[in-house]
Amino acid sequence: MINTAQGNRISPQVIRLPLPRLCNCPRSALRQPLPFLPLFDPRGYPGDGVQCRSRHGFEAYNETVLAMHSRNRFLVLTLLVGAACSRAPVVDLRALHKGAAAGDSAAMAQLTTLASKGDATAQAHLGLLYASGEGVAKDAGLAFSWYRKAAEQGDIAGQSNLGNLYAEGQGVPKDTEQAMLWWKRAAERGDKNAQYNLGLAYNIGEWVPKDPMQAVIWWRKAADQGDMDAQYELGVLYQKGEGVPKDLVLAYMWENLAAAQGEEEARKLRNALERSMTLEQVGEAQKFSRNWKPATSGSAPLVARTQSSEGQGDRP
């Protein structure tokens, strides 16, 4: 079975708890279909320094802007924006989390207030605090409750960590189907921790049918983002030729990248691979390692997958 204890590194059994994303205010949420005169989201976004006093005020403003001729738009802006919005200080959720974890009751109270008002990122932060027991009594039930609220609003870290609780049976009866469901939702949106966990599940083949190709797909996505554990596991699969054509050059490259981040088992496997490779192969693998750059979440893999013969598999 998949357990959550540290075990043999060659088959890691770690269900990891990623930190919630800290961005609470995407600028893309401020829609700007009209030149010089934006339409505002009624919730406001602290990161832009704009906060709503009145949903009705924003709605009236938006509807009026769309109805007015261009020559009157600046008059509308003057009349309505002042009534609808006010400048507000940015809420630093990172600082609140740090303070709450250190036992600052005021920070915890402010974070709880934001979460209670529906802030998904604050909810994910609270979930993490209760899951870890930092600054508060550890409470898996409350961790589950806050993660669930965040996940249902689409918070990626909330979704990933909710999957972890279902996987471990903490705060909720163990449910591997729900774990896989929430991990997949987070993984499809670029969360490397969920991607790693999906790869682990498919590689072990206990909760779902064993499928090395699926393991490769999800571990590659995480490895492309620089995840050390996924890089190590991907190298092992290339060495064995499981889920991908056997390719010692790519096996060496991924182990080399993981070793550079401090993975000791990756260093050992890289050195073992080197003894069975030609100087030309080692040079090629080292060149790939030097040229490799991490992808951002959701971007295309930097190493394209192709079908080829042994030793000439997926190459950058």
215-240, pLDDT tens digit by residue? 999 999 999 999 999 999 999 999 99
Instruction: Give the Cα separation of 64 and 179 in Å (integer).
Output: 46
Total domains in the fold of the chain: 3
Length of the chain: 316
Instruction: Give the Cα separation of 269 and 231 in Å (integer).
Output: 12
Residue 20 lies in a domain: no
Query: What is the pLDDT, as a whole number, of residue 16?
Result: 46
% of the chain surpassing 70 pLDDT? 65
Instruction: Give the Cα separation of 216 and 198 in Å (integer).
Output: 10
Structural domain boundaries, residue 202: 190-316
% of the chain surpassing 90 pLDDT? 63
Residues 223 and 309 in one domain: yes
Residues 304 and 206 in one domain: yes
Tens of pLDDT, residue by residue over 135-186, are: 999 999 999 999 999 999 999 999 999 999 999 999 999 999 999 999 999 9
Mean pLDDT across the chain: 76
Tens of pLDDT, residue by residue over 59-97, are: 444 454 445 444 454 444 444 444 444 444 578 898 999
Side chain identity, residue 107: A
DSSP states along 112-170: HHHHHTT-HHHHHHHHHHHHHTSSS---HHHHHHHHHHHHHTT-HHHHHHHHHHHHHTS
Residue 218 lies in a domain: yes
Q: Are 123 and 151 in contact (CB under 8 A)?
A: no
**CATH code for the domain in which residue 271 is found:** 1.25.40.10
Instruction: Give the Cα separation of 4 and 162 in Å (integer).
Output: 15
Tokens of 21: 């994303």
- Highest averaged pLDDT of the listed ranges 22-26, 91-95, 102-106, 303-307: 102-106
Residues 219 and 271 in one domain: yes
Query: 107 Cβ partners below 8 Å, 6+ apart?
Result: 95, 96, 97, 98, 99, 100
Residue 118 lies in a domain: yes
Instruction: Give the Cα separation of 255 and 228 in Å (integer).
Output: 9
Closest listed residue to residue 230, CA positions, set 213, 212, 218, 243: 218
Residue 21 lies in a domain: no
Query: What is the pLDDT, as a whole number, of residue 216?
Result: 97
What long-range pairs does 113-120 form, CB within 8 A, spacing at least 24? 115/146, 115/149, 118/153, 119/24, 120/149, 120/150, 120/153, 120/154, 120/155, 120/158
Tens of pLDDT, residue by residue over 292-313, are: 999 875 433 333 222 232 344 4
